[in-house]
């Protein structure tokens, strides 16, 4: 059975400043510490998948600048297969500006740079990766046409397609893409955008899940921060709670969840167990600042699971 996870998506350099509160429109505020660290939803998910125990390949575009070269080196040092991560002339690597407040909440502005140039040609070139893929994992910081090509390639080779619909675009996601998606992982806001149902409690979560399933996706997981995650089995809502932790920074918690979920699914875990594992990984990530900096390793999850069992 194939075990490889192929991640298609973005890679950014994150510039993070701790603040007392997120700035209002027109407001200038004085923040605290500044850190640069590796990020981008695609790269975060690839790093999570690799650190948590899966053979992982990443397909992405970076600028041929210092940020891009550094990102490529660090991705490779993580042990991720980067043969289809390319450096592109004449455009900058993606950058994200992230203030993080004292409750661990953030707001994120992304300048896509080279991420916006990831193309169907890049997917076609990376075809060998798909031959041994168990799961294709994607998000929405790269062009949707490229994601459709990747999903088609994954389906051709019998891989499962997992989509994290973040950031949710202005236009609804095309049916052509959703029909190829096996598992989708919106947060409550994205679930509301997709379904038209405001997710406030268990009843509305089930209503939203059913509305998204009617768009062609069999398995829907709504991630709900401290409340854990919701899914539906045989039409019934299943709530999978998460640990209570001291939140430092929620950046990349959703990405860690997605990477971890795919690792557990690759190992053949039952769906609910896979969500439990993903909750555990995400809950550890929010206890630390930054994106890659916060993503846990397999041994950390196993040791906490043992402590709690
Ligand atoms: O999901 C968190 C990520 O969103 C950050 O790392 C930032 O780069 C943006 O892509």
pLDDT in tens, 43-81: 999 999 999 999 999 999 999 999 999 999 999 999 999
Looking at 81, 122, 255, 270, which residue is catalytic? 255
Number of Cβ atoms within 10 Å of the Cβ of 60: 29
Average pLDDT score over residue span 211-230:
96
Q: Residue 239: is its pLDDT beyond 70? A: yes
How far apart CA 169 and CA 191 sit, in angstroms, is: 12
At 303, is the pLDDT very low, low, confident or very high (cuts 50, 70, 90)? confident
Among 291, 293, 294, residue to substitute to test ligand 1 (most atoms within 8 Å of Cβ): 291
At 309, is the pLDDT very low, low, confident or very high (cuts 50, 70, 90)? very low
At 26, is the pLDDT very low, low, confident or very high (cuts 50, 70, 90)? very high
Respond yes or no: is residue 66 known to be catalytic.
no
Residue with the smallest CA separation from ligand 1 atom 6 is: 39
Ligand 1: centre distance to CA 211 (Å) = 27
279 C-beta closer than 6 A to ligand 1: no
Q: What is the pLDDT of residue 72?
A: 98
Ligand 1: centre distance to CA 254 (Å) = 10
pLDDT tens-digit series, residues 177-213: 999 999 999 999 999 999 999 999 999 999 999 999 9
At 306, is the pLDDT very low, low, confident or very high (cuts 50, 70, 90)? low
SS3 140: coil
Give the atom of ligand 1 at the shortest distance from the alpha carbon of 14: 8
Mean pLDDT of the chain: 96
Give the atom of ligand 1 at the shortest distance from the alpha carbon of 38: 6
How far apart CA 241 and CA 21 sit, in angstroms, is: 28
Helices and strands (DSSP H and E) totals, the chain: 11, 14
Q: Residue 229: is its pLDDT beyond 70? A: yes
Cα 217 to Cα 158, 162, 211, distances in angstroms: 16, 10, 10
Average pLDDT score over residue span 8-27:
96
Among 42, 110, 190, 250, residue to substitute to test ligand 1 (most atoms within 8 Å of Cβ): 110
Q: What is the pLDDT of residue 302?
A: 82
| Sequence-distant (≥ 6) Cβ neighbours of residue 257 within 8 angstroms | 185, 223, 229, 278, 279, 281, 282
Looking at domain 4-10+41-58+121-300, which of 3.90.226.10, 3.20.20.80, 3.40.1190.20, 3.30.450.30 is its CATH number? 3.40.1190.20
Average pLDDT score over residue span 148-156:
98
Q: List the structure tokens of 254.
A: 């959703």
Residues in a beta bridge with 110: 96
Q: What is the pLDDT of residue 2?
A: 61
Q: Residue 294: is its pLDDT beyond 70? A: yes
41 C-beta closer than 6 A to ligand 1: yes
Ligand 1: centre distance to CA 89 (Å) = 23
Domain range annotation of the chain: 4-10+41-58+121-300
Q: What is the pLDDT of residue 305?
A: 60
Task: Render 208-219 in DSSP notation, one character per residue.
Answer: HHHHHHTTT-SE
């Amino acid at each position: 059975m194939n075990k490889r996870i192929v991640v298609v998506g973005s890679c950014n350099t994150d510039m993070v400043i701790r603040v007392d509160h997120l700035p209002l429109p027109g407001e200038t505020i004085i923040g605290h510490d500044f850190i640069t660290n590796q990020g981008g939803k695609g790269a975060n998910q690839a790093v999570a998948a690799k650190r948590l125990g899966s053979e992982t390949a990443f397909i992405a575009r970076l600028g041929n600048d210092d940020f891009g070269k550094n990102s490529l080196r660090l991705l490779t040092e993580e042990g991720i297969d980067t043969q289809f991560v390319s450096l592109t002339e004449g455009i900058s690597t993606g950058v994200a500006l992230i203030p993080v407040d004292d409750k661990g909440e953030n707001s994120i502005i992304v300048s896509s740079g080279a991420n916006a140039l990831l193309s169907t040609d890049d997917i076609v070139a990376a075809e060998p990766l798909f031959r041994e893929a168990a799961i294709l994992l994607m998000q929405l910081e790269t062009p949707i046409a490229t994601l459709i090509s990747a999903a088609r390639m994954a389906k051709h080779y019998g891989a499962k397609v997992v989509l994290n619909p973040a950031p949710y675009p202005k236009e609804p996601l095309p049916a052509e893409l959703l029909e190829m998606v096996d598992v989708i992982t919106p947060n409550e806001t994205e679930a509301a955008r997709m379904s038209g149902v405001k997710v406030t409690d268990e009843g509305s979560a089930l209503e939203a899940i059913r509305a998204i399933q009617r768009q062609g996706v069999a398995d829907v997981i709504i991630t709900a921060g401290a409340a854990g995650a919701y899914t539906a089995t045989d039409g019934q809502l299943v709530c999978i709670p998460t640990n209570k932790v001291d939140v430092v920074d929620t950046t990349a918690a959703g990405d860690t969840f997605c990477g971890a979920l795919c690792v557990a699914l690759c190992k053949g875990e039952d769906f609910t167990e896979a969500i439990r594992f993903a909750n555990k990984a995400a809950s550890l990530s929010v206890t630390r600042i930054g994106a890659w900096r916060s993503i846990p390793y397999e041994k950390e999850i196993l040791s906490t699971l043992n402590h709690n069992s």
